[in-house]
Every structure is written in structure tokens, then in C-alpha cells.
Amino acid sequence: MSAAKTVRLSDFASEIGYETVRDASFRHVAKIATRLESMVVPLTDAAFADALCQSDRFAGVITSKAFADLVPPNLGLALSDTPGEAHAALHARICAIPGLLWESFETEIGPGCSIAETAIIPPRDVRIGAGCVIAHGAVIHPRSVIGENVGVRERCVVGSAAYEIIKIGGRQVLRPQAGGVKLGDGVELLPGVSISRTAFGGFTSIGEATVIDHNVVVSHDTEVGENTRVGGQGWIGGRVRIGNDVVIGPQVTITNGLTLGDRCHVSLGSVVTHDVPSGQRVTGNFAIAHDRFIEALRKKR
């Protein structure tokens, strides 16, 4: 399961090639926008420096000499001529340390489960609760924790690789994956749903009794609440937070990092680019309040 061990910036300085100016202990190597605790993050653009003062989630920063003075003095500081690449190398290094980010265990499958012969479940690092249905062609990747009475239907993929890209030497490289996926009790994933694991630690999570329709993509680090419905053919970006009792229509696109409050409603085909308050219905491309959309449509007619 997810571990909570710490290491220090200075532990890897000579290996990776950065200078430790202020040492710090940390648990995760992640991005500024990541919702984890005790993180080392990169600073490659001065525009993001203010965010370092707005949360206690940060433990340290890897940056260049040009931005060193922008790092709050209470945070660890490491300097590199290529801070993005140094940060990526540090992330890859801690991912490779056994037991640091994840305590491995033998796969556990609860009583009363129906597991199709063609389902793929690895021998380690999967936990499936009692009464689950894992259908033909479903793939459950390591670091997946599934509650009781969950349905993972045909061709679903739980724990697929996160779309997290870093450029190393001018080439695009997929980052190592440090986290997993957690499905609450009573979740239903209809055929073709794909849920990505988190990139830096923790879990992409789907709350109890939520139902996700055919061929929906749920991206890394997203949190979906309880009793929510997601219509088919949709795409939910990374780091999205969706509340409880939400209704999302079919073929909806939700961009990265947004928050959709409890009991909100997203109409079919909408493209959501801003946060949606609790209880509000939004419609359109780009999505706006439903009554405003209808009024604008009436005026056009």
C-alpha cells in the first residue's frame, strides 16, 4: 500500500547533479499543482513562484540560480542549470527505491467475486473486495485498490499509465508512475472505461456508488465523489475534483485541474473550462450556466 517514508534532498545531490543549498526531508517529487503533502517541486517559471507561499504542502524546490531568490526561505532549495530535468531524475530515482512510495503485497481477492478467465490481474499489489465482478478483457494494473461489490466490465482498464510527459534532452519521455487507483464500494465501470493512476503518489479515486458509462477516460490524480453519474464517451482531465451526487452527461470534456461541486449537472456534449459551483447546471462549448445558454439560444432563433 501507499507508504509515507521520507528522504532528504542531499541524499541524491551528487547522483543527480544538483546543488543542495538548503536541505529538506520530503515524501514526494511532484508538480506545484499536485495535491500531495511534503513535496519537492520544480520552479522553471517565475509566474508560479507565488503558489509556493500559498500552501504548506511543499517541502522543497528545485530551480535555477535565476529564480533562487523567489523560493520561500522555509523551503528546501536545490539548484540546477536544468531544473526540470533534475526534478524528473529525482522522481525517477525515488520511484526505483523499493518500499519508499509503496509497500508491495500479494494480490488479495475477496470472497464471492466473479473473475472472468480473460481478465488480467497481476499477482501482486491489487486488492479486490468481496462480491466484485471483473468481466472479460478487463485489465487491473498494480497499485489498484477496489472496494466491495464493484463492477469492472468488459475492456475496462484500471490503473493505466498517467499522461505525464517530461522533455529530456529535447525528447518527450513518459514519467515513471508512483501512484495507483482506488474504487469505492459499489462503483460500476461500464465497458471501455479507462482510469489512469496518479503520477507522483496517492490515488486517482472514484467514490462509493458512482457509475461511469461506456468509454470514459478518467485521467491521473482525479477525484470523483460518491453517487455520481458520468455519461459515456467523456474525457475528464488530470487533477479534476468532482463532488458527490453530480450528473455529467455523455460526451462531456472537463479540462485539467477544475473543481465541480456537489449536486452540479453538466449537460451532454459540454466542454467545461471553469470550476462549476455546487448545485449549478452548465451547458455548451464552452460551458456556461444552463439558463444563460438557453436564453442565448432563444435570442439566436
84 and 135 both lie in a single domain: no
Give the 3-state secondary structure of 234-247: CEECCCCEECCCCE
Of 95, 120, 147, the residue at which a domain comes to its end is: 95
31 and 155 both lie in a single domain: no
Question: What pLDDT is attached to residue 276?
Answer: 98
190 and 281 both lie in a single domain: yes
Q: How high does pLDDT run on average in the chain?
A: 95
How sure is the predictor about 3, in pLDDT bands with cuts at 50, 70 and 90? low
Does residue 103 fall inside a structural domain?
no
**Which DSSP string corresponds to 286-297?**
TTEEHHHHHHHH
Question: What pLDDT is attached to residue 288?
Answer: 77
Question: What pLDDT is attached to residue 301?
Answer: 63
How sure is the predictor about 186, in pLDDT bands with cuts at 50, 70 and 90? very high
213 and 240 both lie in a single domain: yes
Domain that holds residue 89: 7-95
**Arithmetic mean of pLDDT, 110-114:** 98
Does residue 102 fall inside a structural domain?
no
Question: What pLDDT is attached to residue 153?
Answer: 99
Q: What is the pTM of this model?
A: 0.93
Give me 1's grid cell.
500500500
Yes or no: say if 180 and 144 are a contact pair by the CB < 8 Å rule: yes
Query: Domain holding 37: CATH number?
Result: 3.40.1390.10
How sure is the predictor about 296, in pLDDT bands with cuts at 50, 70 and 90? confident
250 and 282 both lie in a single domain: yes
CA 241 to chain CA centroid, Å, is 10
Tally of domains within the chain: 2
288 and 162 both lie in a single domain: yes
138 and 197 both lie in a single domain: yes
Does 244 have pLDDT greater than 90? Answer: yes
Q: Which of 153, 159, 147 is nearest to 110 (CA)?
A: 147
Question: What pLDDT is attached to residue 286?
Answer: 82
Question: What pLDDT is attached to residue 293?
Answer: 78
Does residue 27 fall inside a structural domain?
yes
Of 60, 95, 130, the residue at which a domain comes to its end is: 95
162 and 271 both lie in a single domain: yes
Does residue 224 fall inside a structural domain?
yes
Does residue 101 fall inside a structural domain?
no
Does residue 2 fall inside a structural domain?
no
Does 4 have pLDDT greater than 80? Answer: no
Does 299 have pLDDT greater than 80? Answer: no
How sure is the predictor about 5, in pLDDT bands with cuts at 50, 70 and 90? confident
Does residue 1 fall inside a structural domain?
no
Query: Domain holding 239: CATH number?
Result: 2.160.10.10
Does 80 have pLDDT greater than 90? Answer: yes
Does residue 100 fall inside a structural domain?
no
How sure is the predictor about 69, in pLDDT bands with cuts at 50, 70 and 90? very high
Does 14 have pLDDT greater than 80? Answer: yes
74 and 19 both lie in a single domain: yes
Question: What pLDDT is attached to residue 169?
Answer: 84
**Arithmetic mean of pLDDT, 222-237:** 99
**Arithmetic mean of pLDDT, 67-94:** 97
**Arithmetic mean of pLDDT, 232-253:** 98
81 and 164 both lie in a single domain: no
Of 66, 95, 124, the residue at which a domain comes to its end is: 95
Per-residue b or e along 236-275, where b marks 16 or more CB atoms closer than 10 Å to that residue's CB: bbbbbbbbbbbebbbebbbeeebbbbbbbbbbebbbbeee
88 and 148 both lie in a single domain: no
Does 270 have pLDDT greater than 80? Answer: yes
190 and 123 both lie in a single domain: yes
Determine how many CB atoms are found less than 10 A away from the CB of residue 161. 15
Yes or no: say if 217 and 198 are a contact pair by the CB < 8 Å rule: no
Does 167 have pLDDT greater than 90? Answer: no
